[in-house]
Amino acid sequence: MSKIAVLPGDGIGTEIVAEAVKLLRALGEPFELEFADVGGTAYERHGHPLPEATLKLAREADAILFGAVGDWKYDSLPRPLRPEQAILGLRKALNLFANFRPAICYPELTAAASLKPELVAGLDILIVRELTGDIYFGQPRGRRTAPDGAFAGADEAFDTMRYSRPEIERIARVAFEAARKRGKKLTSVDKANVLETFQFWKDVVTEVHKDYPDVALDHMYVDNAAMQLVRAPKRFDVIVTGNMFGDILSDEAAMLTGSIGMLPSASLNERGQGLYEPSHGSAPDIAGKGIANPLATILSAAMMLRYSLAKPAQADRIEAAVKRVLAQRLRTADIAAPGASPIGTAQMGDAVVAALSN
């Protein structure tokens, strides 16, 4: 029996995860679902965004279904206690180094995308983001602060950017393997013209390419990549990049799909254990209103079935059900056409369950 740690988190996290859980239960599989607190909710109840009990559950699980963390009301907390530290802590503790962020523009949503329909019709990009290195985890992470975490009159702050050869090699191999299964084309995004870290990145990716002669490799500076994503996004197939650049580019790519509410993600370690979450945040401004789009979370659950639980047929069923719902012109507010009547979070989940059953 597969054990899934369910960590809803903050804001709309509880609402969207509930719909993904609804889909998992509708599959009729013998999953063991265990829930735990994380993020701001965990801080309120346990005094820490990633309690030991939650981390223990995550370590023991075959996969983690994650909602979202964060709320403006926690911005005054010292950084180590802010909700966002929970997801960073899980990535580091479980060595979740490879982040898969697909950006697919469904035919029914081409009009909802930010670009002209002819630019995004048929779009299918996979961004492979390295997750445990780069400036987010660089050591030392130095800053002059007061005990409460504030800058308190300090005159500088800095974070170091670093990557090791093994870190770059393993994410490059994951990306090349993914490209082999798709269009056999990989774009490595860097800033080698300015940053030594990314000249090193470019050199190592080029070396790894020798083991994948069947995959075409090109290199692109991150500023150019950001421009090309809105100028000619279909020129890309698989993109591999570092932690910070991947964070930014994947959110940009989300708007090519019609809404960030459509963008799932998977974060994997070398054992195939993964954390699955929507690419959007906790959206505290709409939390509790029942209007959030659960499709990114539902599609993340499908990725969980495919990559960590070895159930690709069930993943296909969920993805097909989402396509059927979109074909029925059912829309949450973020993907609804102007003047249309959107449905709510739970209604969308129910619609996908119905499409799954049919």
Q: Which residue has the tokens 């509708």?
A: 26
Tokens representing 334? 């973020």
**Under CATH, which architecture does the 124-255 domain have?**
3-Layer(aba) Sandwich (3.40)
Instruction: Report pLDDT for 295.
Output: 96
Helix/strand/coil for 337: coil
What share of residues in the chain are helix, strand, coil (percent, to 5)?
Answer: 45, 15, 40
Mean residue pLDDT of the chain comes to 92
HEC profile of 151-198: CCCCCCECCCCCCCHHHHHHHHHHHHHHHHCCCCEEEEEECCCCCHHH
For residue 153, the model assigns a pLDDT of 66
Q: What is the pLDDT of residue 128?
A: 97
Both tokens of residue 125?
């990009």
pLDDT at 150: 61
- Per-residue pLDDT at 118: 87
pLDDT of residue 57: 98
Residue-wise pLDDT tens digits, 310-344: 999 999 999 999 999 999 999 999 988 877 889 99
Share of the chain above pLDDT 90, in %: 78
The reported pLDDT for the residue numbered 256 is 87
What pTM was estimated for this model as a whole?
0.87
The domain 1-96+269-358 is classified under which CATH number: 3.90.78.10, 3.40.718.10, 3.40.50.720, 3.20.20.210?
3.40.718.10
Dist CA 342 CA 334 (whole Å): 9
Residue 12: helix, strand or coil by DSSP? coil
Q: Do residues 86 and 199 touch, judged by C-beta distance below 8 A?
A: no
Report pLDDT for 218: 97
Mean pLDDT score, 117-138:
90
Residue 254's pLDDT band, with cuts at 50, 70 and 90, is confident
Residues contacting 292, CB < 8 A, separation 6+: 12, 15, 16, 261, 283, 286, 332, 345
CA angle 348, 17, 20 (to 5 degrees): 55
- Give the residue extent of every domain in the chain: 1-96+269-358, 124-255
Active site residues: 136, 191, 223, 247, 251
What angle do helix axes 196-209 and 165-180 make, rounded to 10 degrees? 50
Q: Do domains 1-96+269-358 and 124-255 have the same CATH topology?
A: yes
